[in-house]
Amino acid sequence: MKYMIGADIGTTSTKAVLYDLKGQVKAYANVGYPLYQTTPDMAEEDPAEIFDAVIEVLGQVMRKGQVKPGELQGVSFSAAMHSLILMDAQNQPLTRAITWADNRAAKYSHELKDNGLGHAIYQHTGTPIHPMAPLSKIIWLNREQPELCAQAVQYIDIKTYVFQRLFHTYKMDYSIASATGLFNIFELDWDQQALEVAGITREQLPELVAPTDQILGLDPAYSQVTGISTDVPFIFGASDGVLSNLGVNAIDPGVVAVTIGTSGAVRVVVDHPVVDPNGNLFCYALTKDKWVVGGPVNNGGIVFRWVRDQLFAPEKITAEQMRVSTYDILTQIAEKIPAGSDGLLFHPYLGGERAPIWDADARGSFFGLTRQHTRAHMVRAALEGIVYNLYMVMLMIEGVAGKPKSIQATGGFARSELWRQMLADVFEQDVTIPESFESSCLGAAVLGMQSLGLIDDLSAVKDMIGVTNVHQPKEANFEVYRELIPIWIRLTRALSPEYSAIADFQRRHMQIEADIDD
């Protein structure tokens, strides 16, 4: 038997899946780690904790799958985008991994937008100007912690950190690089203008490699711990977003992938780099001839978690005692409320927002509350607000890639029948739920199989996924949403001028506990 491992270094956990060459799951492992936050804008993780999780999941799937010598063909990686770690001359991290959710560089993102440099750089890089991007993070660190930057020999992401520890070399794939704001997507090289604005040199950045490039010579110590031979090739892989498209077979023109996990995204594949005239959409590499255009949102499942913890604490305790999912209980509660939540609207901006508004200062709100509204209305309105926000992203994508032909839905929310139907009703499109397990891991494995010549091309993924459900829009529901969505969009624009004022107040007065996220 021949196997392939697809591993995904995510924001809250690292997962590894052992697949056979037909894409069937043979073993699975998942190890989580905390997010560290001591101010409202901070969101960091410990690189060593993440590396340990990577080693643990690789070892687990090898043991669970009882993989024999010679059976493992390769290991291919997916990883979350936009992380930043500063490394010193001894290859030790000077910082934690500063994640995409960290907004401390907001001031410098605003500067880039205001002086016009940001839009010029976006036209080369395809990365929207936002504090999520390493470009803004590096400017922030150079301005506010110059003594730290003076010690930095390399500016890397979490996947590069993992590969450096495994293989003792600094290399970054085009896909991760295309999400830094420092990479010219048309030249497949570091962008000179972006480097000058960031205040770093190309020597301080990893060597660029294609997502399908391989590396041999796993450190013997980690070979022994994981059970993976030193002659097994590791494939650099790509970012989690683009590999999720591949993992659900959303790689043909017009096939849109909508993902909601902790955060979320709407993405479609095109055959060449494309940038949005307004700078609101990303364009990231999957391969040299497949590029993913779309928009990421900060606020997906994390909003549902907030609803659970802050509005339904008694139900959470009951669910834990009964050993059932609180989310299932909340979904059942929300199902009793009609589409549109009787006019209650929710803006899900609990952690600032990337697409569609690209405002790190954005804040959440309920609008339209009356005495007749209940907690059940609030939970449904929160779910609808998440979907309305994704729909706004889809409208932007239509401007550069045309109307969608079909939608593939993935992520934790895809397990909810209510959410799947809500997505179909708001988007007025059939929504297909692929059966594929851990889409980013499968995408990484398929990319690895192509690199190793085990499949002819990426289209082989269509035989590796199934279809569990197809949801069709219900006319009675989408007519309600047609009426409410314009109000929701106008309200978003009306609130926008006040976001910075309330965010500034919160930064000065709000204190939060460290070490969050379960």
For residue 405, is pLDDT > 80? yes
Q: Verify that 345 and 405 share a domain, yes or no.
A: no
Per residue in 339-385, pLDDT (tens digit) is: 999 999 999 999 899 999 999 899 999 999 999 999 999 999 999 99
- Same domain? For 21 and 55 the reply is yes
Average pLDDT, the chain: 95
- 174 and 322 both lie in a single domain: no
Residues 12 and 97 in one domain: yes
User: Residue 131 corresponds to which amino acid?
Assistant: P
Same domain, yes or no: 280 and 293: yes
Instruction: Pull the structure tokens for residue 1.
Output: 């038997």
* Shared-domain flag, residues 496 and 467: no
Of the candidates 257, 240, 239, the one whose C-alpha atom is nearest the C-alpha of residue 248 is 257
Q: 311-342 pLDDT, tens per residue?
A: 999 999 989 898 899 999 999 999 999 999 99
Tell me, yes or no, whether 440 lies in a domain.
yes
Residue 379: CATH number of its domain: 3.30.420.40
**Cα dihedral value 410, 414, 419, 421, nearest 10:** 80
Query: Do 470 and 486 belong together in one domain?
Result: no
The answer for residues whose C-beta is within 8 angstroms of residue 150's C-beta and 6 or more apart is none
Q: How many domains would you assign to the chain?
A: 2
21 within 8 A of 4, measured Cβ to Cβ: yes
Q: Which domain holds residue 306?
A: 301-383+477-511
Provide mean pLDDT across the span 288-308: 94
Over the stretch 150-190, which tens digit does the pLDDT of each residue have?
Answer: 999 999 999 999 999 999 999 999 999 999 999 999 999 99
Using only the alpha carbons of the chain, give its radius of gyration: 22
Does any domain span residue 507? yes
Alpha helices in 323-438 (DSSP H): 326-335, 375-401, 417-427
Q: Are strands 214-215 and 234-239 parallel, antiparallel or unpaired?
A: antiparallel
Does residue 432 fall inside a structural domain?
yes
Q: What is the mean pLDDT of residues 385-408?
A: 94
Residue type, 184: N
Judgement on whether residues 368 and 439 belong to the same structural domain of the protein? no
Q: 426 and 366 share a domain? A: no
**Residue 334: inside a domain, yes or no?**
yes
Which of 386, 425, 387 has the alpha carbon at shortest distance from 305? 386
CB 216 within 8 A of CB 452: no
Q: Is position 518 within any domain?
A: no
Residues 460 and 481 reside in one and the same domain = no
Q: Give the pLDDT confidence of 16-60 residue by residue, as tens digits.
A: 999 999 999 999 999 999 999 988 789 999 999 999 999 999 999
Tell me the pLDDT tens digit for each residue of 177-231. Answer: 999 999 999 999 999 999 999 999 999 999 999 999 999 999 999 999 999 999 9
Chain segment 74-126, per-residue pLDDT in tens: 999 999 999 999 999 999 999 999 999 899 999 999 999 999 999 999 999 99
Global pTM exceeds 0.95 = no
Do residues 262 and 213 share a domain?
Answer: yes
pLDDT, residue 517, reads 45
Q: Are strands 97-98 and 183-184 parallel, antiparallel or unpaired?
A: unpaired
Domain check: are 285 and 329 in the same one?
no
| Residue 205 to residues 26, 183, 254, Cα–Cα distance (Å) | 37, 11, 35
